[in-house]
């Protein structure tokens, strides 16, 4: 059971709640975040009695992810729509459609500049590319590291774009925060709880990809690690899950979009590139994501996709991206969401 305290609960009120839980045999751990939460294990806590205690905001089952939802509520107090927040002045959630586009890996500075110019012209808000790449083989290209982040930031700034890039472990965080507006957690790291906790202390929003075979509940709980450590600005990104189907790289689970949004109120993006893994079908999946109500897209785009340093087979060219963006805008217009 999780007891969420009110943001202005006093220390005395907290002590009373801890004592009430201990008195019925619960082991209590305290977590600081936007508001303090008390996790109670074992024992026979009386939910009705706890809800009525001074300073208590809510009492939930462990799986209810109180901070992720509380984070959405906190973000929405000054805005009309739940789960809307701003990233360096650019809105995400609500009526906004947030598109991050760029190569899988950071490429050379000239290529990055052309991609940035083209995706911005087509309506992207952010430039995405990995400087540290999680690769299946230890012999594959691992990314350019900090030099890549410098090139990424420079290209984004030249064309008025935000920067999204992946942080693979906590030691990279201090470097990444200098260059990124949004810190990406890759699918392979969704269960890396020490990293999630560190990102909870970062002052930048976190784009949390769904694990390769993570359930929706596990994914929301991963967001909870970030939010309960003090950072409520979590953006979910559905990127496909592993199923029995080998015809596509992954199976894009669009069920997750309405489910996760309803449960947390936080923005949910869709990555159709990793979702299907086949470049010729990426635009169709992007349209489907828009139709199901996604808050935006994360798409792999390159000027010469065949030359991309990684994920070439799922990377679309800039002209295809521009066409896809026009179709998505038309679709959203028809659905009165754009
Ligand atoms: C990526 O965005 O390039 C990436 C590595 O994605 P994922 O973690 O979803 O595989
Ligand atoms: Mn990729």
Angle at 154 between CA 301 and CA 175, to 5 degrees: 95
**Distance, CA of 304 to CA of 14 (rounded, Å):** 58
Q: Look at 35-44, 77-86, 115-124, 289-298 and tell me which has the smallest mean pLDDT.
A: 77-86
Q: Which residue has the tokens 């789960």?
A: 83
Q: Can you tell me which atom of ligand 1 is nearest the CA of 189?
A: 8
Ligand 1 centre distance from Cα of residue 190 (Å): 11
Per DSSP, 100 falls in state E
- pLDDT above 50 (res 65): yes
Going by pLDDT thresholds of 50, 70 and 90, the confidence category of residue 140 is very high
Task: Tell me what pLDDT residue 73 has.
Answer: 45
**Distance, CA of 296 to CA of 338 (rounded, Å):** 11
Ligand 1 centre distance from Cα of residue 185 (Å): 8
C-alpha radius of gyration, the chain, whole number = 21
pLDDT one-digit tens code per residue, 315-337: 999 999 999 999 999 999 999 85
- State if residue 130 touches ligand 1 by the CB under 6 angstroms criterion: yes
- Residue to mutate, 128, 141, 192, 239, ligand 1, most ligand atoms under 8 Å from C-beta: 239
On the 0-12 / 13-18 / 19+ scale of CB atoms within 10 A, 329 is: middle
Q: Can you tell me which atom of ligand 1 is nearest the CA of 298?
A: 2
Q: Can you tell me which atom of ligand 1 is nearest the CA of 239?
A: 9
Listed residue (241, 287, 236, 231) closest to 258, CA to CA: 236
**Distance, CA of 206 to CA of 229 (rounded, Å):** 12
- pLDDT above 80 (res 79): no
- State if residue 104 touches ligand 1 by the CB under 6 angstroms criterion: yes
Listed residue (200, 236, 192) closest to 217, CA to CA: 236
- State if residue 209 touches ligand 1 by the CB under 6 angstroms criterion: yes
pLDDT one-digit tens code per residue, 234-254: 999 999 999 999 999 999 999
Going by pLDDT thresholds of 50, 70 and 90, the confidence category of residue 31 is confident
Cα 213 to Cα 171, 210, 236, 257, distances in angstroms: 26, 8, 15, 16
- Residue to mutate, 166, 219, 300, ligand 1, most ligand atoms under 8 Å from C-beta: 166
Mean pLDDT, range 116-123, rounded to an integer: 98
Task: Tell me what pLDDT residue 29 has.
Answer: 83
Task: Tell me what pLDDT residue 34 has.
Answer: 65
């Amino acid at each position: 059971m999780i007891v969420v305290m009110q943001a202005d609960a006093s220390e005395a009120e907290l002590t009373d709640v801890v004592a009430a839980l201990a008195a019925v045999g619960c082991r209590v751990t305290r977590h600081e975040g936007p508001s303090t939460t008390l996790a109670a294990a074992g024992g026979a806590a009386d939910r009705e009695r706890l809800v009525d205690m001074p300073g208590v905001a809510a009492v939930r089952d462990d799986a209810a992810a109180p901070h992720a939802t509380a984070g959405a509520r906190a973000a929405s107090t000054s805005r009309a729509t739940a789960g809307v927040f701003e990233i360096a002045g650019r809105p995400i959630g609500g009526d906004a459609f947030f598109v991050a586009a760029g190569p899988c890996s950071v490429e050379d500075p000239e290529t990055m500049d052309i991609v940035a110019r083209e995706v911005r012209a087509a309506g992207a808000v952010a430039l995405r590319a990995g400087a540290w790449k999680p690769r299946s083989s230890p012999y594959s290209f691992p990314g350019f590291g900090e030099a890549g982040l410098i090139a990424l930031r420079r290209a984004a700034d030249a064309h008025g774009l935000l920067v999204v890039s992946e942080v693979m472990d906590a030691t990279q965080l201090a470097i990444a925060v200098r260059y990124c507006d949004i810190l990406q957690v890759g699918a392979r790291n969704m269960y890396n709880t020490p990293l999630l906790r560190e990102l909870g202390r970062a002052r930048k929003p976190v784009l949390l990809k769904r694990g390769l075979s993570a359930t929706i509940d596990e994914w929301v709980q991963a967001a909870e690690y970030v939010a309960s450590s003090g950072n409520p600005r979590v953006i979910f990104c559905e990127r496909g899950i592993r199923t029995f189907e080998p015809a596509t790289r992954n199976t894009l689970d669009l069920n997750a979009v309405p489910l996760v949004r309803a449960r947390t109120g936080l923005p949910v993006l869709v990555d159709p590139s990793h979702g299907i893994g086949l470049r010729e079908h990426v635009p169709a999946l992007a349209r489907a994501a828009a139709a199901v109500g996604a808050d935006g897209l994360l798409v792999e785009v390159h000027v010469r996709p065949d030359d991309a340093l990684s994920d070439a087979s799922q990377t679309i060219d800039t002209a295809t991206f521009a066409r896809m963006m026009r179709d998505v805008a038309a679709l959203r217009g028809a659905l009165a969401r754009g």
